[in-house]
Every structure is written in structure tokens, then in C-alpha cells.
A and B are shown apart, each in its own frame.
Chain A
Amino acid sequence: MVPADMKCQEFVELVTDYMEDSLPAATRADFKAHILECDGCGAHLDQMRQTMQAIGDLAVTCHIRAWFAIK
């Protein structure tokens, strides 16, 4: 069962605050409980992490530094 106290639509707005460790303790606890019980939000959180990783990799593989400099 999905915990009723945090909606998925609220969860997706809190991902960065969670990753930056700036959620209030009670909200952080709700957020973590929600991950355990909601596959969709777990996948969303993983995708946000993979996106960050992929952007970092992009810089290495695509010479994005040069791209960034000339824009």
C-alpha cells in the first residue's frame, strides 16, 4: 500500500531537496517511507540520479566543455 500522507505528485517536487539533504526531518522520513512502498517514485528518484550521472558523463564523452564555451 502507498502511504497516504505523501502523494507521488508531491514526492517528485521534493527529490532535489532530498538529494541535497535539506528536507525537514519529518518530511525526510515520509519521503523515505514513500520510496519503500511506491515503485513509481523509486523509479523516478533513480531516473533523476541517472540523469545527473549521464550529464556528467556527457561532459567527458562529448567534449561538452567546448560546446559550453562557444554558445
Chain B
Amino acid sequence: MAGVWVDAGETTPPRTGEAKIDAGQVVDRGVLTDAAQLHRLRSGDTEEFERLVVTHHALMYRVARAHVASSAIAEDVVQDTWIAVLDGLTAFEGRSSLRTWIFQILRNVARRRGQREARVVPFSSLMATELGERTLPSVDPERFIPPSDHEWPGHWLWPPRQWEGGVEERLLHAETQALMAASIEELPPVQRTVLWLRCIEGWASEEVCLALEISAANQRVLLHRARSNVRGSLEALLEES
């Protein structure tokens, strides 16, 4: 493992335990396609580096923002990360994809910065709070037959209906999209970041676990909560009419 995660003066110790991901076991689809890009980056190709920045900067800012107290600090964290990436490129062994490695560095820079700022809520405690809410139901319990029922406790009282016949188009309406954007924005920060990476950036779950340093099981809990929240908002809107 030594040298795999080159991250600006700090090494991440190998992690063990069934719920955690071993970086060496991850089948990372980015590895091969990174080779030519990595070669150009190492030989100081500034256009290639600019492309890298354009691709990842906004998302890095968003992830950093979940770690630190202000947008100014988040910008600093992203800048410091790019400097560390430039410094670390020659030592990067390419055993993870480039973007996974970059987000590992980002997380370490953000965490160090977070520790320095007393008023900052650390990412780990944000996550603990959100995971503490795991017992919150995905669907309003009132929609199910109560446990006291002898025949069908826990089965639907008011089942969801199929979204069909014009709903596809309605999902594309401005009103629906505004509601969806609002319900994503209202999500707790870690849920929102997981949903974003999986749903919009199209990251694999293993990659999200590595970048945010969360277990596979916790990643699923966070994704499930986020999905369920947005589904609930959409259902409420679509059933209204």
C-alpha cells in the first residue's frame, strides 16, 4: 500500500474491516484511460492540466464546501488540492484512477483545514448526524396499515400509483424541475454529495466510498435517504393534480 495515496505529506493507512473498501481490490475503470493523460500531465502539458481543472473544479468545490464553514475556505481547499496534485503527479502510481486520487487529496486537505478552523463542523460529524437519522422512514408510516392490524400490518394503506400517461413529460416541466432542484438542495450535505456523485456525475459506488471515505453500507444508506426524499417530493407534486 505504501506510496499509493500520495497526498501532500500525509499517508492514509491501509484500512481493514468488512464495511470498508480496500483500495487494492477496487476494479477501477478509470485506470487504463488515464495513462496517456497522466503522461501529458507529468510532462507539464498545461492544456491537459486546464482540462483536468475544468472537469473537476466545480465538484471539488462542492465536496470541499461540505467539509468547511465558508465558501472562501472551500475555494482555498480546492486551490491547495491542485497544488498538491501538481506536486504529487510524479509519485502517483496510477493504481487508482486519477480522479479518485485527486478526491482523496481534496478530502485530506479539507480535513486538515477543518481541524484548524474551530467553528468548522467536521465532515465526519455531519455524516454521523445524517447516518443517525437512518431510522427515519423512507415513506410516511401513515401510508401503511398500522402494526395493530391482525391481517396486513405494514402493508400499503395508500399505495403509490404508477407514474404513467403524461408523467414522463411532466417530469421535464419547469415546475417539476424547480421542485426537484429545491428538494436536492434541502438534502443534508453528505446525502446531497452522494446523490450528486452517483446520479449526476455517474460515479461507481466504490469510487464514492473512496473519495468521501465512507463504507459501502453507509454510502447505500445515504443514497437511499436522498433518493427517497426526492421521490417523496415528486410524488406529492405529481399526485396533487
| A interface residues with partner B (beta carbon < 8 Å) | 2, 7-10, 12-13, 15-17, 20, 22, 38-44, 46-48, 50-52, 54-59, 61-62, 64-69, 71
Q: B139 at interface (Cβ–Cβ under 8 A)? A: yes
With a cutoff of 8 Å between Cβ atoms, the chain A residues found around residue B10 in the complex are none
Residues A51 and B200 in contact in the complex (CB < 8 Å), given A7-B154, A9-B139, A17-B220? no
Q: Which of B181, B200, B216, B223 counts the most A-chain CB atoms under 10 A from its CB?
A: B200
B160: A residues at CB distance < 8 A: 40, 43-44, 47
CB distance from A1 to the nearest CB of B (A): 10
CB of A55, distance to nearest CB on chain B (Å): 5
- Roughly how many angstroms separate A70 CA and B59 CA in the complex, as a whole number? 10
Asked whether B230 lies within 8 Å of A51 as measured between CB atoms, the reply is: yes
Query: In which size bucket is the chain B interface?
Result: 35 or more
Nearest to B141 among chain A residues (CB) is A9
Known: A12-B138, A48-B231, A69-B58. A58 touches B185 (CB 8 A): no
Residues of B within 8 A of A15 (CB): 138, 224, 227-228
CB neighbours of A22 from chain B (8 A): 216, 220
Interface SS majority for chain A? helix
List residues of chain B with CB under 8 Å of any chain A CB: 57-59, 61-62, 65, 137-139, 141, 144, 152-156, 159-163, 167, 171-172, 176-177, 180-181, 184-185, 195-196, 199-200, 205, 216, 220, 223-224, 227-228, 230-231, 234-235
Q: Is the CB of A68 within 8 A of B163?
A: no
- For A43, give its contact among B57, B62, B153, B159 (CB under 8 Å): B159
Chain A residues with CB under 8 Å of B184's CB are: 55
Contact among B59, B159, B180 for A40, CB-based, below 8 A: B159
Cβ–Cβ contact A16 & B144, under 8 A: no
Could you tell me if A54 and B171 are in contact, using CB atoms closer than 8 angstroms? yes
Contact among B62, B144, B200, B220 with A8 in the assembled complex (CB-CB below 8 Å): B144
- CB atoms of A7 and B181 under 8 A apart: no
Question: Once bound together, how far apart are the Cα atoms of A10 and B141, in whole Å?
Answer: 11
Given contacts A20-B205, A55-B230, A56-B200, contact A8 B156 (CB under 8 A): yes
